Structure 1
Amino acid sequence: MSQWGQPNQQWPGQQWPAPSGPAGYGQWPVRGQWPPQGQGTLPPPAQGSWQAAQYPRYAGAPTPPRRRRSSPLRFLFALFGVFGVMVLAYVVLSYAGDGAPSSQTETTHAGSYENEDYEVPSADTNPPAIPQPETYAEATKLMEDNSLYSAAVADPVRCELDGLDLSTATDAQLEEHFNELTACLMRVWAPTLQEAGYEAVRPTVTVYSTPISTPCGDMPMENAAYCMVDQQIYYASDLTDIIPKDLSNVPHTADAVMAHEFGHAIQARTGILYSEKAWESRVSSSEADEFSRRTEVQADCFAGEFTAAVSESLGMTNSDVDGLSDMFYAFGDDVLTGDSTYEGNHGRGTSRQQWFLDGVNDQQLATCNAFTAPASSVR
């Protein structure tokens, strides 16, 4: 899986051997000579989660340094302040905040929305296999020179969602809401992936209130994850409990988390996620952490792209986007651990914040190519 704080993903396919070793590790399956024999075990089931399990419970964070946007916002912000702390997927909703439902109003739109001819499919519980490289050279190309980077995200794109009070919503209401959210995500991303020669898949979203087992391994509470094995998303109903108190009133926090997780789905459907996990299994632990960080900040950037695309439809303000960028900062490895020198597997707060804002400011997906970026930008 791809979890918000900690990668944890098994490998797709029906012929993989049973997991062995600690934390669900398993032997890399033999596919011809790739990888060479004796390469060792796979990383844990790749389930990029919102919060790393090894981190202490989040108790608050210093005010993040405000990152100025390098260019004027490329999207119009309408009047209502709907979103907040995690714009990744939250931007697709029209809450007024986690603590109070927003009033849904029609946004005045001066022109035409993009991707209006795209018909959103139903969720796919039996999706086609994800692209898989045959060699490490091919895996590197998929990460660094993917055709996705030649595409651009349409802007503006329509997103219509009912308001929801996340603090009082039942699991069933949350699940219904998030499954509606995936329609907005697909309207933004499916035509983009098609332009790059790939096929998007609309996942289901399962909301759980007690720890559950998934095809990618066990999912703890206070988490959210994309599982590459079944290509679905999982969300713990108590995830809002880990939001820093000073950001708890920022609208659309949970939706932002979902946008990040959908970013992992994009990576899976374009061969990036599988390729990155293959390389993680071959290198040292410190190098594997860097590969993981590149994957996570790219998902942050994809979340920014999505946020910008639907911001006009959802009536987002500059303040909403700033609140969301602060959320990304708050979930940096260094901020979560309280150690300014710590280098984990998701990226420091300033890195995560900047990659998110990079996505907000540029429709071109080349800006999200974290795999050719300097190591200093993904620490």
Structure 2
Amino acid sequence: MAARPLGCLIVLVRSSFLALCLVAVPALPARAAPYAAPYADPFARSGKLAEAACPEPAITHGGIPRTREYLSVIMKCLHKSWKARFAADRKPFREPRVRFYDDPERRVCGVPWPESAAAFYCTDHRVLVFPLTGEWIENRTDLYPLKVAAHEYGHHLQSLTGIRRHYEARVKSSPGRQAELGRRYELQADCLSGVFLAAVWGSLDRTGEDWTALLDATRASGDDEHRRSHGKGVTRVRWLKRGYQALSPAACDTWSAPRATVS
């Protein structure tokens, strides 16, 4: 089993596509709440995700794409790991539905297919949508497809725990902060993907070079000067590594984090 390195998609920020639990806390004075508080992250007291076996299948075999098979295996691993964690935390769990598409459709989940999305989560239907083609997964040998799948699954966890409702309510009450709140939502999903990667790392037959390649790919997926929805590349890497190092969703509280850490 490979040693775990020391260190640790795409979702549109709209009511129909969201992919980062909820306990009321006394309101603080306005000057004392500079971030997304008052809010108690439902994962705050969650324990570590149990280490698990998830042998990674090949995305291609004999030159033939096997992306559906690859993602199906990863989904089973995600279901098993997070179901166990929710049971330990005494939280209700429900697996998301999963849909695979050979090519993008004109509409999915009742809305137009997001133009620039790799994979995404339909919040209203609790469906994970995975196109089986595109740069995010075709002919790749790195861990990026696994990370994307784990990120989108993180959005499902956010829906199960009430984090999505918190996010949407905050956007509604503070529309001027939509971009910032959206980044908190997305970066939490990055962190949750890091937690899962840490839990299954020992069974992936990967090396430190693979980890470095994933950090590079994640960094490259960061916001550019025209888009401020998911966080800068360096910020996405920071939260991915944070989840990986902690092996616990309790480390993924982006809602009370200083603004500088969710840029």
Q: TM-score, normalised by structure 2?
A: 0.81
Deviation at 1:189, TM superposition (A): 1.3
Specify whether residues 215 and 152 from structure 1 end up closer, same or farther in structure 2 by C-alpha distance, changes over 3 A only. same
Aligned pair in 2 of structure 1 residues 355, 216: CA closer, same or farther (>3 Å)? Answer: farther
Structure 2 residue runs of 5 or longer lacking an equivalent are 1-8, 28-34
Alignment of 1:72-151 (within 5 A): 144-151=39-46
Aligned to 1:205: 98
Aligned match of 1:264 in 148, 152, 155? 155
Q: 1:343 to 1:375 in 2, by over 3 A?
A: farther
1:255-292 deviations in Å (ceiling 9; x for gaps): 2211110010111111001210121122133x011111
Instruction: Determine helix, strand or coil for the equivalent of 1:150.
Output: coil
* Secondary structure of 1:146 counterpart: coil
Matched, 1:156 2:51: yes
Take 1:311 and 1:145, find their aligned partners in 2: how far apart are those partners? 30
Q: Letter of the aligned partner of 2:254 in structure 1?
A: A
Structure-1 residue corresponding to 2:83: 190
- Once the two structures are TM-superposed, the CA of residue 252 in structure 1 deviates from its matched residue by 3.0
1:266 maps to a residue whose letter is: L
Question: Structure 1 residues 201, 284: CA separation in 2 closer, same or farther (over 3 Å shift)?
Answer: same
> Counterpart of 1:234 in 2: which secondary structure?
strand
The aligned runs of 1:1-379 (5 Å cut-off) are 4-9=10-15, 45-48=16-19, 144-165=39-60, 169=64, 173-208=66-101, 209-215=103-109, 217-220=111-114, 223-240=118-135, 250-285=141-176, 287-334=177-224, 339=225, 344-379=228-263
Secondary structure at the residue paired with 2:192? helix
Normalised to the residue count of structure 1, the TM-score between the two structures is: 0.58
Measured on the aligned residues, the alpha-carbon RMSD in Å equals: 3.1
Does the 8 Å CA contact 1:174/1:207 hold for their aligned counterparts? Answer: no
CA contact (8 A) 1:297 1:370 kept: yes
Higher radius of gyration, 1 or 2 = 1
Query: Could you tell me how far apart the structure 1 residues matched to 2:168 and 2:62 are?
Result: 35
What do residues 14-72 of structure 1 show as CA deviations (whole Å, max 9, x unaligned)? xxxxxxxxxxxxxxxxxxxxxxxxxxxxxxx2244xxxxxxxxxxxxxxxxxxxxxxxx
Tell me by how many angstroms 1:225 deviates: 0.5
Higher percent of residues as helix: 2
Runs of 4+ in structure 1 deviating by more than 4 angstroms, as ranges, are: 131-137, 140-143, 166-170
- Report the residue type matching 1:349 in the other structure: G
User: How much does 1:217 deviate?
Assistant: 1.9
Q: How many residues align?
A: 245
Segments of 5+ residues of structure 1 without an aligned counterpart are 10-44, 49-130
